[in-house]
Amino acid sequence: MKKLLLTLLLSNFVCLPALAKTVRCLDKEPGTWFSHTDGEQYYVLAEGELDRDEDIKEKVRSMEILVCTSYVTNLDYLFRGANNRDLELFKTSFWDTSNVTSMVMTFDSVHSEYGLHLNLSGWDTSKVTDMSKMFSGNSRLVLRGFDHWDVSKVVSMYGMFEDSRLYSTSSFRHWDTSSVRNMSRMFSGLRGSLSGLKNFDTANVTDMSYMFFGAYYIDINISGWDTSNVKDMSYMFALTEKFNSDISSWNTSKVTNMRSTFMSTKAFNADISQWDTSKVTTMRAMFHNAKKFNTDLTGWDVSKVTDHDSFAGYNNTFDPNNWPIFSN
């Protein structure tokens, strides 16, 4: 019965009509109420009020009142762990987020029997710099409307979709990620499909550790990513079942940490023999229990590697004659 109800909700979600336009109130006094043209009464939130006034915050979290958010700059933790049923959070679709700079854990681990349903197509994210764990920890995240978000100022997407099950027809194809430095854990533990990642601008990213860790079913093309500034790739693809993208041309000249990068992968066997590993200091368990990998890596520069314990432990396919020649 629950599965049937969820199916019906998802079906209704796709067919919903256009949502209300963004409600703006910079011409109103913070802390006051006003009547909108849609016939509803809105409370004008003051900057910082969500942090100062627990009563107001709880009313916003429970959707007891409708609010105008034009003055708000911080939405950190707002709905974290909140109890919201069905489509209630659609009421956030008209929020004016044009002045918001931080959305850390905004919708983290929301409790909802039939999933967290969001249409955020009207959200203005042009000033946001931090989206860390914004949607993490949601077992049924039904999300649409983020296709054309302006994320050009976002520096951190750490854990943004970590441990979530994503149902979405939206794509990341148009995201400008040129300012992002941290993509660690961004899709770690994710269930669901990912579209448009090949267009990510990763030229300034320094941390990709755990980025796809445990995202079992992802099958993505990220061969063209610019990884020239990445320093940490530890656990990046560990515990993935389908990943086997051609990443042979990646620039790894600044990477120092490759610990468990491909640990327990089931499909990966791309030719990465030309990777520059001259600055890597740890390759511990890099191919531990990797089921198919057997590329010749004897040409790798591992002169700075001081830790390569269990480099390919429990890997029966990786011929030791193809291992790098460790001197330490």
Integer Cα distance of 135 and 141 in angstroms: 8
Cβ atoms of 104 and 132 closer than 8 Å: yes
Q: What is the pTM of this model?
A: 0.91
**Average pLDDT of the residues in 298-324:** 96
Cα of 178 vs its chain's centroid, Å: 15
Integer Cα distance of 37 and 169 in angstroms: 31
Q: Which helix (H) or strand (E) holds 2?
A: helix 2-15
Q: Which helix (H) or strand (E) holds 239?
A: none
Residue 35 has phi, psi (to 5 degrees) of -95, 130
**Average pLDDT of the residues in 174-200:** 94
Go through the chain and tell me how many residues it has. 328
Integer Cα distance of 297 and 127 in angstroms: 44
Cβ atoms of 180 and 154 closer than 8 Å: yes
Residue 117 has phi, psi (to 5 degrees) of -105, 120
In this model, does residue 6 exceed pLDDT 70?
no
Q: Are strands 41-44 and 166-167 parallel, antiparallel or unpaired?
A: unpaired
CA neighbor of 239 nearest in space, from 220, 258, 208, 211: 211
Torsion of CA 133, 139, 144, 150, to 10 degrees: 10
In this model, does residue 266 exceed pLDDT 80?
yes
Integer Cα distance of 228 and 75 in angstroms: 33
Whole-Å CA distances, 178 to 13, 63, 150, 173: 32, 35, 11, 13
> Per residue in 234-245, pLDDT tens?
999 999 999 999
For tokens 């990443």, what's the residue? Answer: 247
The pLDDT, as a whole number, for residue 82 is 84
SS (H, E, C) 193-237: CCCCHHHCCCCCCCECCCCCCCCCCCCCCCCCCCCCCCCECCCCC
> Per residue in 115-167, pLDDT tens?
788 889 899 999 999 999 999 999 888 888 899 999 999 999 999 999 998 88
**Average pLDDT of the residues in 35-60:** 95
For tokens 């148009």, what's the residue? Answer: 174
Beta strands in 135-291 (DSSP E): 141-144, 166-167
In this model, does residue 8 exceed pLDDT 70?
no
Integer Cα distance of 59 and 134 in angstroms: 21
**String of DSSP letters for 293-306:** -----TT---TT--
**Average pLDDT of the residues in 94-114:** 92
Q: Which residue would you say has higher pLDDT here, 20 or 81? A: 81
